[in-house]
Chain A
């Protein structure tokens, strides 16, 4: 493989196991981002991120402008939220959310006007590490990889952890999703500036952009910009799910293994997503807080699959309508990708900061399989990227043997769904594991 005259070999020996579901990326990969018109109503759940709920700083009937702070960070692991529109606060109440359970949310009635109250644009070349981190914090940036972990927390590792490398996750291993790919194709300069800002914030000299080999075009494009770059390199990785899982990506690019219960920073690495890097660029150079989500709307159940730039808080219904509505044979609407995303039942569910896509699956895409008894074929064990015993964990939870499940490493499971995808008996393994993890936390066994 040659990228810009430089030979880039496919990284050999990726992680063990994994699967390769049908990609379906062709539905949207060549479609440029479109901007979704402003919705009438914005719903902002106060938990847009992993950690403490944000604290509202507005009250009913307050007027807000674009980019104005509406909820502030509450504690170390938390993130502020900004209004994506001009409008009036209608209410602060519980609404449906993509978490599946109601969340306290700020509801804003959108009004005419494009007045904004952005942060002050800064010059990236003169900024210090602390200034970048402060800006990331102010702008409410969260990780776009799925977990929505507040980004500034990742940028401030404890003193005793020596970080020597930033890895950018451009794998986008979930089927259907093309959001990261489109950002790379359309905003390569902004993205790379964001990456450099992140490297500066972490004070690291080395950066790796890990990208799957089904996104050659993006790798080539980014490669052009990196021609004379010594510190930043592209690693071309084998296309397989879950290549974009943090531990798998770190292993594939650096051969470092994150031990069970440890974090990437324990092996000197911080992983950030493509979307996150781009948000950092926007926050610094444009002064724009995280008020938009770049996402893919795809699946055979939607009339016109698209890549969209959407204001956070937009109800899913507005997005589906913009994409021509859903087809008669659509059976599932998923927020996120089909492997790890959450199905929703209420079309008023709002888009959040880290929403990477909406996938509407038709009947044909959801393979109907009976749930049969586990036949101990061992396929789940063969393909579990973390080397767990999925079938055993599921069975232990089924029989309420939580302590044994804990000893067998149930808490390590990242719920990637690889085992379920391939289970010939269609045992809902991940579902049982989720139940087990929840029970173990409730019983405080761990």
Chain B
């Protein structure tokens, strides 16, 4: 019964493929879903601090991101790729960078832009130059400047306190927010970026399972400590200490979930260090000397554009070519 004739085997079952014939079970789709799981603490913190309505914001972004990809793939008669989770992830990431109670029509526009212009125009997954979620965010910032800079206080804080983000509060009012609040997330800011605790939980999970490299977040933090530390030492009254800058704004969220995006970050470890440190340099420049209180988004987008150049100059030496 188990013995087969040669013909049966050849025609029906034997597969011919180039070696290797065994593969690890790890896939790109799994990685995408792992990142989505890693974002759950951030989603929870968004709901805890800013209310249930934020879930509607998040779902709107995800829905429109997935729908856009679906339509583009249908129109271009390509294989559907929505099940790989990357479009949903882009929508989710975009939502978590938006201010609380963001208008839903703008959510939809941002998601459509992120997927269509940010990703599909370049050829889909793997071919985009810029982080699609951040590109969508930048588009919204340009198109809806008022909505995108209107911040709401966390529910726990009495109405009397100003609703500016800690960075704006420092930049324009010279008031430093308490570090413990920054760490927990009990501050005003974008949905997913306020709680350092939630972000770090997700980040540690992703590093442990090997989805993201620790090099980029660590190099960004090192860069921030060095550059902001120098400024802080020069004039502590004018510049905030590095820990404040690490915990406030989108720094950690960007370091762990945006800058580590596989497609738009450098390929080699050395490249990742250069990438991370330069992002921090740009953030320090924008936050301290630019007109905006926050600069993570632009810093990462700018460095996305530099990534091919970094890749070009960080080609590792082939084994045996000497150190």
Contact = CB atoms under 8 A, between A and B. Distances in A.
B208 to A, nearest CB: 16
Interface stretch (B26-34, B58-66, B141-149, B173-181): B26-34
A20 to B, nearest CB: 10
- Say which size band chain B's interface belongs to: 35 or more
Contacts of A333: 14
Which residue, of B123, B125, B127, B319, has the highest number of chain A Cβ atoms within 10 A? B319
A260 B321 CA distance: 7
B2 A386 contact: no
A428 interface: yes
B321 to A, nearest CB: 6
A370 to B, nearest CB: 8
B23 A421 contact: yes
Interface in A338-369: 338-348, 359, 361, 365-367, 369
Interface string B116-144: 00000001111100000000000000000
Interface in B261-284: 262-269
Contacts of A359: 21
B269 A382 contact: yes
A413 to B, nearest CB: 10
A129 interface: no
A343 B21 contact: yes
A317 B3 CA distance: 10
A361 B319 contact: no
B320 A366 contact: no
B28 A420 contact: no
B20 interface: yes
B320 A424 contact: no
A331 B13 contact: yes
B22 interface: yes
Contacts of A424: 26-28, 30-31
Given A332-B15, A341-B19, A430-B19, A347 B320 contact: no
A373 B21 contact: no
B71 to A, nearest CB: 19
Contacts of A377: 28, 31, 262
Given A321-B3, A424-B31, A389 B23 contact: no
A164 B29 CA distance: 50
Interface string A403-424: 0000011001001010011111
B21 A338 contact: yes
B263 A334 contact: no
A173 to B, nearest CB: 12
Question: Which of B31, B320, B321 is most buried by chain A, counting CB atoms within 10 A of its CB?
Answer: B320
A330 interface: yes
Contacts of B264: 376
Interface string B1-25: 0111010011001111111111111
A374 B319 CA distance: 24
Given A321-B3, A348-B6, A372-B125, A340 B28 contact: no
B14 A361 contact: no
B320 A258 contact: yes
Contacts of B17: 332, 343, 428
A431 B18 contact: yes
A47 to B, nearest CB: 19
A376 B28 contact: no
Given A247-B320, A321-B3, A339-B21, A373 B15 contact: no
Nearest to B17: A343
Contact of B319 (A22, A387, A420): A387
Interface in A240-298: 247, 251, 257-260, 262
A327 B30 CA distance: 30
B157 interface: no
B23 A420 contact: yes
A386 B316 CA distance: 10
Interface string B238-273: 000000000000000000000000111111110000
A272 B6 CA distance: 36
A391 B263 CA distance: 12
A375 B24 contact: no
A325 interface: yes
A381 interface: yes
Nearest to B10: A345
A154 interface: no
A426 B10 contact: no
A346 B319 contact: no
Given A324-B2, A343-B16, A372-B125, A412 B21 contact: no
A372 B21 contact: no
A102 interface: no
A397 to B, nearest CB: 13
Contacts of B315: 389, 408
A330 B12 CA distance: 11
14 contacts: A251-B319, A260-B318, A325-B3, A333-B14, A345-B10, A347-B9, A365-B22, A375-B262, A375-B263, A378-B262, A381-B268, A386-B320, A430-B19, A434-B18
Interface of A: 15-16, 19, 21-22, 175, 247, 251, 257-260, 262, 303, 317, 321, 324-328, 330-334, 338-348, 359, 361, 365-367, 369-370, 372-378, 381-382, 385-389, 391-392, 408-409, 412, 415, 417, 420-426, 428, 430-431, 434
Given A366-B15, A409-B318, A421-B24, 13 more contacts: A317-B6, A331-B14, A339-B20, A340-B19, A342-B19, A343-B17, A343-B19, A345-B10, A347-B9, A372-B126, A386-B318, A425-B126, A431-B18
8 closest Cβ contacts across the A-B interface?
A417-B20, A373-B126, A431-B18, A377-B262, A378-B267, A259-B320, A257-B320, A386-B319
